[in-house]
Amino acid sequence: AVALLQAGGSAVDAVSLAVERLEQCPLFNAGVGAVLNRDGLPELDAAIARGEDRGTGAVAGVSRVGSPIRLARAVMERSPHVLFSADGAEALARQLGLPMVDPQSFIIPLRLEQLAAAKRSGSIALDHVDDASAAPDAAFGTVGAVARDSRGHLAAATSTGGLTNKLPGRIGDTAVFGAGTFADDGSCALSCTGTGESFIRAAFGQAVHGRMRWGGMSLADACQAALDDVRKLGGTGGCIAIDRDGTICLPFNSGVLFRAWSSADGGAIRTAVWSDSASPQSAPIP
């Protein structure tokens, strides 16, 4: 995705490519390796947002679509609507000729164990932990990407299995434009992870946008204020965000956030897991 941007590719292409790859990696809570609902099935949500014209596409509760983010992009580019769910979303994927898979192909043993543990404790759980010391054997969360391209356009993409032991039919913030996924060239692009219910109630993406656009706040301050709202609403999590000037911000109030970032100059990719002063909570990336 970094090479694509360096070669002059679009932000939309970069974020779709990054998220599609991460969906295939079993370490994360998206696509292969996604968490399971109460019935032991994956129900996947994904969304993409294009800052240039506020284009967006999202899908919720899909179990048979090989790449939920590809379908979300198809919703944006090839349908008259912006959000599809479950059977209708899968019918659209078939109609558009996207690869379909057996829901079992997403399931890995770790997720069956996590579901059993959540059922024993009666919890509905984030797959990433608040206790940073437990992180090494935990899974690494929802996947997302944000980018600003050489023409100054912004884009965001997010894909997730949601929460372990969630009730069938539950939809999280990922699929909701203006909550867990958002892009507007006038402010920022962002992608969230964390307690979806709280991110929806905080209208996270729209809240960051509004604070920047009409409150004159920086991206970092706007994200921090929105994260404070999420906490007041009982949630934890974080986001990856980039503003119209290319400032990157990766704030979180959970124990860990697995994150990577890069800039146009040389394109070195840096990564971080825990809170780390070298990570751009707010610092502009040259």
Q: Which residues are tagged catalytic?
A: 142
Q: How far is the CB of 93 from ligand ASP (least distance, A)?
A: 20
Report the chain's C-alpha Rg in angstroms: 17
Q: Is 174 in the site for ligand ASP (CB under 6 A)?
A: yes
Q: Is 241 in the site for ligand ASP (CB under 6 A)?
A: no
Residues in region 107-146 near ligand ASP by CB under 6 A: 126-127, 141-142
Q: How far is the CB of 173 from ligand ASP (least distance, A)?
A: 5
Q: Is 172 in the site for ligand ASP (CB under 6 A)?
A: yes
Q: How far is the CB of 170 from ligand ASP (least distance, A)?
A: 8
Residues in region 180-209 near ligand ASP by CB under 6 A: 180, 193-194, 196
Q: Which are the contacts of 128, defined by CB distance < 8 A and separation ≥ 6?
A: 29, 135, 138, 139, 140, 141, 193, 254, 255, 256, 258
Closer to ligand ASP by CB, 5 or 251: give it: 251
80-87: long-range pairs with CB below 8 Å, 24+: 82/56, 82/57, 82/58, 82/177, 83/57, 83/58, 83/59, 83/175, 83/177, 84/58, 84/59, 84/60, 85/59, 85/60, 85/61, 85/171, 86/43, 86/60, 86/61, 86/62, 86/169
Q: Is 29 in the site for ligand ASP (CB under 6 A)?
A: yes
Binding site for ligand ASP (CB under 6 A): 29, 126-127, 141-142, 160, 162-163, 172-174, 180, 193-194, 196
